[in-house]
Amino acid sequence: MATVPLLSDEEASAEALAVFDDIRATRGTDYVNNFWRALAHDPALLRATWERLKVVMGPGALDPLVKEMIYVAVSTANGCEYCVHSHTAAARAKGMTPAQHSEMLAVIGMAMQTNGIVTGLQVPVDDIFKA
Amino acid sequence: MATVPLLSDEEASAEALAVFDDIRATRGTDYVNNFWRALAHDPALLRATWERLKVVMGPGALDPLVKEMIYVAVSTANGCEYCVHSHTAAARAKGMTPAQHSEMLAVIGMAMQTNGIVTGLQVPVDDIFKA
Amino acid sequence: MATVPLLSDEEASAEALAVFDDIRATRGTDYVNNFWRALAHDPALLRATWERLKVVMGPGALDPLVKEMIYVAVSTANGCEYCVHSHTAAARAKGMTPAQHSEMLAVIGMAMQTNGIVTGLQVPVDDIFKA
Amino acid sequence: MATVPLLSDEEASAEALAVFDDIRATRGTDYVNNFWRALAHDPALLRATWERLKVVMGPGALDPLVKEMIYVAVSTANGCEYCVHSHTAAARAKGMTPAQHSEMLAVIGMAMQTNGIVTGLQVPVDDIFKA
Amino acid sequence: MATVPLLSDEEASAEALAVFDDIRATRGTDYVNNFWRALAHDPALLRATWERLKVVMGPGALDPLVKEMIYVAVSTANGCEYCVHSHTAAARAKGMTPAQHSEMLAVIGMAMQTNGIVTGLQVPVDDIFKA
Amino acid sequence: MATVPLLSDEEASAEALAVFDDIRATRGTDYVNNFWRALAHDPALLRATWERLKVVMGPGALDPLVKEMIYVAVSTANGCEYCVHSHTAAARAKGMTPAQHSEMLAVIGMAMQTNGIVTGLQVPVDDIFKA
């Protein structure tokens, strides 16, 4: 259960519906997922979040699939269940293979492990790593 | 200052030195960074960590640069200063351009932002995201 | 399911029941929420936590509603589902409006975003920010 | 040391300088802090971050000082040194008293403590907290 | 629901089954828990994780029960529901009493609390703590 | 630099000095570390934190050294530099050997690693782990 009700198309305001429409058009699907339905209580935050997401996750210097995997990595480290599920699904939709999924998990695990050991050791940053 | 002294080649045990030698040979550089010098107090942990890192970060289904960016993403979410510095340097050494660095940071920021909003809203996972 | 059973009034010890009574009297409700029922296995920890909570969240230099929003912010960053739910409910009981809820979420999202970007950039603290 | 050089006014591009100018005009100070100078390598990310920050942290349903305290709370839970320093300074500039600072820290500490205990106990969310 | 299906003995590959067999023999139980069944999609990651776990959690300079409590402490701070449940169960199986469980939770709560206050205050490390 | 000045004995109030005196007497040393000197701005928070710490970290069902290691584990997962340093020093003062330190770090690393992999996989909790 969310801390706010999820708004159906009928319950959403005109401003929120306009964002839903753009989500549908951009993604080529009629399905609007729960995150946007929860955000619909605040159409300004809904629009700002969606507009920014389109820019950040769109084509650029990084492959869209790589962006989704970075998204999953951050969401995993932050323990965000919804985000892990939704962006793992998005990565799959963009072509992530089972072998790539496994390797991503192995890298996440490796990073978590050394994050812990380095922090426990309080290793000082080498001069050669500084920009 | 670390919670243990960093061991120079002279101070390291033979077992630790053998790992240092493999790090040098694998990376084609004489430089052994502080993380390994701190770990050298426990040669078994040093070896296990290094051997696993070689496997996980080596060639596979994901590009080595992509792996480094996933590593940076996790380390950033966990706030590990050393890891952010060392793996950003590693990503650059593997070809990360300034434009790719910027996009990675934008994706990390976007993921952090929605991780926070989703968690504050406690959005339930959509059925269609479930495997 | 918790890692310990939740204790009903019948199962709780006399010391735990005394804390339940104070919770009821302080809050003006008969309902004792699950957190306290799980803590009831250790009446000393239950009492210490409740007594401290009363002091910290009570009247002072900050408005009680502001304190609840700070509590939600920390709980969100830590990904504590129970705490997000219980303190969002508490904030509402203390007068948080839907508009305030939305703004709090926007601020949490903004902070998460810049936390990530700043950490990825490892920006050094400006001298003028130091006390 | 940051993972990128901080850009001076002389080094920044025209697009980045335009954002610096708006920061100066909005804040009524000539000082542009390190975060923006690090972001200046990517003028588009610099502008998007600054424009969004102005909206989110500006006047609304919550007092600007309350917003800064929520920002500090999130940054503290995430362990972001730079963000804790810069937003504590901002909170002071917006009128946070030493007594308010102390209470905010006490609330942050209380929330962290119960976040840990609740998570260790895996307390299920009470039905009455659900929206 | 996991992001991958959990594999039954019938669905697991021969390599994965060999690890299941070792888990069963090592633990003296026929039950293989969900973590390993989810990992079974990548037999190499399954084996590497299990082999390392056996070494790290086995007999050594620290008591196996102490190791489980350290594991729970980390998992709690990271908000990993599965890990809190599985390692609390493992700690109980290794003899953790209810009184020890309660004290562990009190220490976790105390550490979380001072982690937050110290980070909010940005207290510099005393010279005498440096190795 | 802290977000507040550290108070010397001369600058501290009588209430804060009384806590400093108890810290000195309890620990059998004249040295009062920076955390308490930063907290001295709020004598009530200083006293409440110190009094609780004495109870939680004192003798009980768990060995005091075990409690310090749990404290380090949580502080490491939370990335609290000061806390890692001060409680690693405290653990050493209570007899932690280099071999125990290394094993603790290996367990922390293992827990972080599986926390990441489990969260990435979103493994559901086994029924047998539920209390």
The per-residue pLDDT for range B96-118, each reduced to its tens digit, is: 999 999 999 999 999 999 999 99
The whole-angstrom distance between residue F121's C-alpha and the CA centroid of its chain comes to: 31
* Contact state of E3 with A84 under an 8 Å Cβ cutoff: yes
Nearest residue of chain F to residue D112 (CA atoms): F78
C85 contact residues in D (CB cutoff 8 A): 125-126, 129-130
Cα(F65)–Cα(F96) distance, integer angstroms: 7
Nearest residue of chain D to residue E85 (CA atoms): D122
- Give the pLDDT confidence score for residue C130 in this predicted structure: 80
Residue D93: its H or E element? helix D81-93
State the best of C70, C75, C86, C88 to mutate against chain D, taking most chain D CBs within 10 Å.
C70
Give the position of tokens 């935050």. A45
The whole-angstrom distance between residue C100's C-alpha and the CA centroid of its chain comes to: 17
Per-10-residue mean pLDDT of chain C, 131 residues long, equals 95 98 97 98 98 96 98 98 98 98 98 98 94 63
Report whether F39 contacts F49 (CB < 8 A).
Answer: yes
Q: What tokens appear for F18 in the block?
A: 């009384």
ipTM topping 0.90: yes
Q: Closest partner residue to B45 among F79, F88, F102, by Cβ?
A: F102
Give D10's pLDDT tier (boundaries 50, 70, 90). Answer: very high
Q: F73 Cβ partners below 8 Å, 6+ apart?
A: E70, E73, E74, E77, F104, F107, F108, F111
CB pairs under 8 A between A and E: 21
- Give the pLDDT confidence score for residue E131 in this predicted structure: 63
Cα(E86)–Cα(E73) distance, integer angstroms: 12
Nearest residue of chain E to residue A80 (CA atoms): E79
Report whether E61 contacts E83 (CB < 8 A).
Answer: no
State the best of E85, E105, E108, E113 to mutate against chain D, taking most chain D CBs within 10 Å.
E113
Cα(C118)–Cα(F64) distance, integer angstroms: 37
CA distance B117 to chain C (A): 6
pTM beyond 0.90: the answer is yes
Checking if the pLDDT of F131 tops 70, the result is: no
The whole-angstrom distance between residue A21's C-alpha and the CA centroid of its chain comes to: 20
Nearest residue of chain A to residue D52 (CA atoms): A48
Report, in angstroms and rounded to the nearest whole number, the Rg of chain F calculated over CA atoms: 18
Mean pLDDT (chain E) is 97
Nearest residue of chain A to residue B91 (CA atoms): A129
* Contact state of F115 with E78 under an 8 Å Cβ cutoff: yes
Give B131's pLDDT tier (boundaries 50, 70, 90). Answer: low
Residue A28 in 3-state DSSP?
coil
Give D131's pLDDT tier (boundaries 50, 70, 90). Answer: low
A131 contact residues in D (CB cutoff 8 A): 1-5
* Contact state of E121 with F80 under an 8 Å Cβ cutoff: no
Amino acid at F62: L
* Contact state of F125 with E77 under an 8 Å Cβ cutoff: no
- Give pLDDT tens digits for E32-78: 999 999 999 999 999 999 999 999 999 999 999 999 999 999 999 99
D110 contact residues in E (CB cutoff 8 A): 113
* Contact state of D117 with E109 under an 8 Å Cβ cutoff: yes
The whole-number average pLDDT for the span B8-30 is: 97
Checking if the pLDDT of D126 tops 70, the result is: yes
| Residue B79 in contact with partner chain D when CB distance is under 8 A | yes
Q: Closest partner residue to E88 among C3, C42, C78, by Cβ?
A: C3
Checking if the pLDDT of A92 tops 80, the result is: yes
CA distance B83 to chain D (A): 12
Cα(E17)–Cα(D10) distance, integer angstroms: 64
Nearest residue of chain A to residue E80 (CA atoms): A79
Closest CA to D56 of D66, D45, D43, D44: D66
* Contact state of D119 with C80 under an 8 Å Cβ cutoff: yes
The whole-number average pLDDT for the span D87-92 is: 98
Cα(B120)–Cα(B112) distance, integer angstroms: 12
Give D1's pLDDT tier (boundaries 50, 70, 90). Answer: confident
Torsion of Cα atoms, C77 then C78 then C84 then C86, to 10°: -140
| DSSP 8-state assignment for residue D49 | H
Length of chain D: 131
Cα(C61)–Cα(C57) distance, integer angstroms: 11
Give A130's pLDDT tier (boundaries 50, 70, 90). Answer: confident
Length of chain B: 131
| Residue B50 in contact with partner chain F when CB distance is under 8 A | no
Q: Closest partner residue to F79 among B3, B42, B80, by Cβ?
A: B80
Nearest residue of chain E to residue A91 (CA atoms): E3
Amino acid at F56: V
- Give pLDDT tens digits for B24-57: 999 999 999 999 999 999 999 999 999 999 999 9
* Contact state of F110 with E53 under an 8 Å Cβ cutoff: yes
The whole-number average pLDDT for the span D69-75 is: 98
Chain C partners (3+ C-beta pairs within 8 A) = A, B, D, E, F
* Contact state of A67 with B99 under an 8 Å Cβ cutoff: no
Report whether C131 contacts F5 (CB < 8 A).
Answer: yes
